[in-house]
Each structure stands twice: as structure tokens, then as C-alpha cells.
Amino acid sequence: MLGRHKKKVNSETRRYRGNLVFEDVDQMGLLEVVDDLDQRSLHFGTWEKQSAMSLTTHHQLILSYTRAMMAGLLFVERPHSILNVGLGGGSIPKFFMHHFPDCEVDVVEIREKVVDLAFNYFHLPQASLLNIFICDIKEYFRTSKKKTYDIIVLDVFNKDGIADSIKGFSFMSICQSRLNDNGVLIINLWSEPEQIYKKMVYNIYKSFKTQVMILPVADRSNHIVIGINRPGLRYQEHLLKKKALLLDAVFQVGLPELCSRLCNLNKRFFTGP
């Protein structure tokens, strides 16, 4: 995959307060890579960063919403299989591959040029346990022979917002059916437009029989929704907070604060002091 569709630009070209180092278009629109000091970001023709990377620590999660998505790791033991839908610059697969080197990571991305950018500009590593499928997620589910996962991550946006491919109750039901027992679905949503957001949350609740937690990202419109594939679970709050401290010593994504906010906002799932 390396080397295809590369179209470098003058690094002094300014865009989004940084230096534009790459731009191109595909059938879905504009793709831009911008460097600003120690950070490289991916844009789809708008100010919003679709992905961001530290140029010195490639696996580090830069954007606050990606760090918030890792709150889902509080509810699953060490994963052996992960499906990531929506590659962007590859921040989430890189994080998982770094911290869980024995875990198989499948990635579904509909835009071939986005895959090329992840390898060429965002240091997505070539690895035997990384499998990339260039197709729509619904097509992938139809052809993947009922493969199941410990974690499914949905981060699927275009320049207009949440992609149509992940909307609808039937799609959320398929995601639930592709999780192993105690598996976790982690979804990045935008809270606006409110009608679309509420409909998606309703579909997730219905698919997971209300075993759903919501974590708004501070000072952003992102809401992280976590669906747990096991009915009737309750958690001891003090034990979960202890687990957050232990995990964050390794992950360094702010899990103690995320855990506290998650407990405060989803009290019906937690017991004890």
C-alpha cells in the first residue's frame, strides 16, 4: 500500500494554522495533512481534525475524544480481537497495537486513500496481526463469516457528520451479535444534530438491552457511547476506580478522571462507596 496516491505540496502552504504537507481528493472529497509544531493532523476539508498524531510519540492518543473512548477498556479484560471501523490516521489501531501486541486488529475503511495516508504520513505500522479491509462496514459484515470480537470501535465520520453506514437499529444489532460474551462496543458520536444523536442512542440502548453508558467529552460535541454485551451487570465503583489507576499507569490517557465522570453520569451501573 505504500507509495500510492502521494501528492506532496509545498510545506510552507498554510492551512488550519499549520503547514499543509499533503492534499488530494477522492470520490468522497478533499483529504489534507497538516503539520503544526509537534502535531500532524488529518482533515477532510474542514477545521475538524479527523485524526491527530504526535510526530515524536506516534502511538500516543492526542485528541480528547480518542482518549475518552479508552474508557471502554475498563469493562473488558485484555482483548484478543478488535474491530476498528473508520481508520482516519490510525490513532486507535496504533494505540491498541502498541499496548496489546498479541491482539489481532481488523480495520474497515471505505476510502483507499485514507489507508495510504495512514501508512505514509501517520506511521501506521505494517504488522502481521493488522488486517485492513477497504470496503463499507455493512459489506464487511456480510462477507466476514460471523467473526466475533472482544472490542468493536466505531469512529465513522465524513465532512458532513456521522456516516450513514452506521445508522439504524439493524446495524447496531449486527454489532452486538459480533461481540464475544462480555465484549464492548465503543462509539464516537456527535451530539448534534440532536435528532440524529438521540435516534442513534435509542438504537444502541435497544440493541444492548439498556446495558449502555454515555460519556460526554469535556468541551466538545463528542459523546462516547459504550455498549456492554452482558445483561444485568453492575460494578463496584471503588474497584473500577482502582482498576482505572492501574491501567492508566500504562495507557496514560487520563482514565481515573474518565472513570469518575463515567460513574457520576451512569450511576445505575455502580454500587458501593
pLDDT at position 232, please?
A: 78
Residue 267: φ, ψ to 5°: -60, -30
Please choose, from the candidates 139, 88, 141, the residue with its C-alpha nearest in 3D space to the C-alpha of residue 115. 88
pLDDT at position 75, please?
A: 95
* Domains of the chain, start order: 14-54 (no CATH), 64-236+246-251 (3.40.50.150)
- Is residue 75 within 8 Å of residue 228, measured between CB atoms? yes
Q: How confident is the model at residue 273 (pLDDT cuts 50, 70, 90)?
A: low
Distance, CA of 235 to CA of 107 (rounded, Å)? 30
Number of Cβ within a 10 Å radius of residue 267? 9
The arithmetic mean of pLDDT across residues 238-257, rounded, is 97
Please choose, from the candidates 153, 159, 152, 164, the residue with its C-alpha nearest in 3D space to the C-alpha of residue 200. 164
pLDDT of 37 above 60: yes
pLDDT at position 1, please?
A: 37
Label residue 257 exposed, middle or buried (CB < 10 Å: 0-12, 13-18, 19+).
middle
- Is residue 51 within 8 Å of residue 122, measured between CB atoms? yes
pLDDT at position 5, please?
A: 46
Tell me the CB-side half-sphere exposure of residue 115, using CA atoms within 13 A. 19
Tens-digit pLDDT profile for residues 131-152: 999 999 999 999 987 899 999 9
Please choose, from the candidates 200, 90, 209, 107, the residue with its C-alpha nearest in 3D space to the C-alpha of residue 149. 107
Distance, CA of 54 to CA of 63 (rounded, Å)? 10
- What's the pTM value of the predicted model, to 2 decimals? 0.93
pLDDT at position 230, please?
A: 87
Label residue 254 exposed, middle or buried (CB < 10 Å: 0-12, 13-18, 19+).
middle
pLDDT at position 178, please?
A: 97
